[in-house]
Amino acid sequence: MKSNANLLILNVGQLITCASDGKPKRGAAMRDVGLIENGGVAVIDGNIAAFGKSADVEDSFCSDHTLDAQGKVVAPGFVDPHTHIVFAGDRLDEFELKIEGADYLEILEKGGGIISTVEKTRNASLDELVDTAVARLDKMLACGTTTAEIKTGYGLNTETELKMLEVIAKLDLVHPIDIVPTLLAAHAFPPEFREDRNAYVDLICGEILPKAWDWYVNSHFRAKKTPFYADVFCEKNAFDLQQTKTVLETAKALWFGLKAHCDEFTNLGASRLSIEHGATSIDHLDAISDEEIDMLAASDTVGVITPTVNFNLGSAQFADARRLIDSGCAVALSTDYNPGSAPCPSQPTVMAIACRYQKLQPAEAFNAATINAAFAIGQGQRTGSIEEGKRADMVIFETDDYRQIAYEFGGNLTGKIIKRGEVRNLKL
C-alpha cells in the first residue's frame, strides 16, 4: 500500500541533496553535492518524508499534489547565515564616494558609513523597518533563500537595538523565510560614546545584552527553539580585541550563541579568541593567519566568507577560501546583505563570485551556501539539505545542470520555491 504524501516532486533531472552526516562538510566532502539522477521527493506535513529515485518514490507514495520537475535541478533552499537587512535609508552617496577612492574604514571614522545608517534607523518607525526589510526578504526568496540570519546593529542604544529585535521577530512571523536573530550591538561606536568607548562596552554588557536575552526568553524564537546569537565587529575603528573579549564573555555567560566579524580588513586576533570561546561561526576571514586557519580546522566553528564585500569594494583581494577548505575548515558562504559593504540579496551571485575569485568548485559553493550555512546558524539539523525529517525547503531551478547556478550570473535561474512543503512560483 502506498503512503499518502502532501506533495510529490518527480522526474528531477538532478536532485542535489547536500546530505551530510549530521555535521558541516569539510575537505573532499565539500565536492560531493549528493547528486541523485532521476530523483524524487515526498513531503508530508511540511517535512521531507522520503527522497531517492523518482520511480522508487512513486512506488511508495501517492498524492493529490504532484509536481513534474521535467528533468530540472531540485536543490535545498539556500541558507544565508549573515545579513544586516533591517535598516532605514540607503548609502548611495557613499557608493559614489567609494568609486572616487574613499576608504570604507575612513568613511566610518568620519561618522559616515554604519553611523549614517544608525541615525536613520533610530528615527524610523517599526512598521517602516518591517516593510523595507520584507521587500529585501522577498528579493532573497526570489533568489532561492529559504532561511536567513538577521543582525541588529544599526541601533547602538538599548531602545533601538530592542526595536530591531522586534522587527526581526515580526519578519519571522510574516515572511516565509525562516529567520535566526543575532544581536550586534557591538557593531560600531555610536557618536555619543566616541570619547569614551569603554562606556559603550559597559552599556552593551550591563544593559543591552541582558535586556535582549530577557526579550528572547519571552519571544516566539525561544518557543520554537531557534537560537539567539551575539556578534561583535572586531576591527580598527570598531571593537578592539579586549572589548571583543568582554562582549563575547558577557554574552556567553547569558547563554547567547556566539559569532564574530573577524579579520575583515585587519587581523586583531579575533579569530583565535572566538574559536577559543566556542563561537558557532567566525565571519569574513580575509586577514586570518595560518595558525588560526589550523585552529579553525580543528574546531566545530564554521568559517563564513563574504566575497560580496570584496567585490563591492572593487578589490582584487579575497579571503583565501581555497586554503580554508583544503586545510579542513567547514566553510559557508553568505551575502552579508547590508547597505554599505554588500548590497546583495543573492546567494547564487555570491557563489558566482566565490567560484571565480576564491577558486571554489560549483559543488563546494553549493554545500557552502546550503548545509554548511545552516550549521553556521545552528540550523544544520533542520534545513540546508534534502534529508528525511528536515524541513521541505527546496528550489526547482530552470536548468538541468546544477553547475549552471554558479556559472551564470546577473540573471536568476530560480523557478519554483518549496517552503515548508508549500509551492510558490517566483519567476521574476
By CB under 6 A, name the binding residues for ligand NIG. Answer: 84, 113-114, 117, 233, 261, 264, 309, 336, 338-342
| Nearest distance in Å: CB 231, Fe ion | 8
**φ/ψ of residue 184, rounded to 5:** -120, 50
* For ligand NIG, the closer CB: 63 or 341: 341
Kindly report the CA angle at 41 between 35 and 46, in degrees rounded to 5? Answer: 125
* 256 touches, from ligand NIG, Fe ion, none (C-beta below 5 to 8 Å by class): none
By Cβ distance, which residue is nearest to ligand NIG?
A: 340
| Nearest distance in Å: CB 126, ligand NIG | 20
| Nearest distance in Å: CB 154, ligand NIG | 7
* 172 touches, from ligand NIG, Fe ion, none (C-beta below 5 to 8 Å by class): none
Alpha-carbon span 213 to 251, nearest angstrom: 9
| Nearest distance in Å: CB 284, ligand NIG | 7
| Nearest distance in Å: CB 321, Fe ion | 17
| Of 422, 357, 419, nearest in space to 179 by CA | 419
| Nearest distance in Å: CB 283, Fe ion | 6
By Cβ distance, which residue is nearest to Fe ion?
A: 336
* For ligand NIG, the closer CB: 228 or 233: 233
* For ligand NIG, the closer CB: 39 or 339: 339
Say if residues 350 and 311 touch (Cβ distance below 8 Å): no
Give 373's contacts (C-beta < 8 A, 6+ positions apart).
78, 79, 80, 81, 304, 332, 333, 334, 384
Say if residues 215 and 240 touch (Cβ distance below 8 Å): no
| Nearest distance in Å: CB 210, ligand NIG | 24
Handedness of CA 52, 58, 61, 65 (dihedral sign): positive
* For ligand NIG, the closer CB: 121 or 412: 121
* For ligand NIG, the closer CB: 107 or 363: 107
| Nearest distance in Å: CB 82, Fe ion | 6
Alpha-carbon span 386 to 348, nearest angstrom: 18
* For ligand NIG, the closer CB: 333 or 396: 333
Say if residues 12 and 54 touch (Cβ distance below 8 Å): yes
* For ligand NIG, the closer CB: 39 or 307: 307
Residue whose grid cell is 543573492: 346
Phi-psi region of 70 (alpha: psi -120 to 50; beta: other; left: phi over 0): left
| Of 175, 91, 105, 101, nearest in space to 138 by CA | 175
Q: What are the residues binding Fe ion (CB under 5 A)?
A: 336
Give 427's contacts (C-beta < 8 A, 6+ positions apart).
414, 415
* 137 touches, from ligand NIG, Fe ion, none (C-beta below 5 to 8 Å by class): none
* 116 touches, from Fe ion, ligand NIG, none (C-beta below 5 to 8 Å by class): none
* For ligand NIG, the closer CB: 160 or 385: 160
Alpha-carbon span 418 to 87, nearest angstrom: 28
* 339 touches, from ligand NIG, Fe ion, none (C-beta below 5 to 8 Å by class): ligand NIG
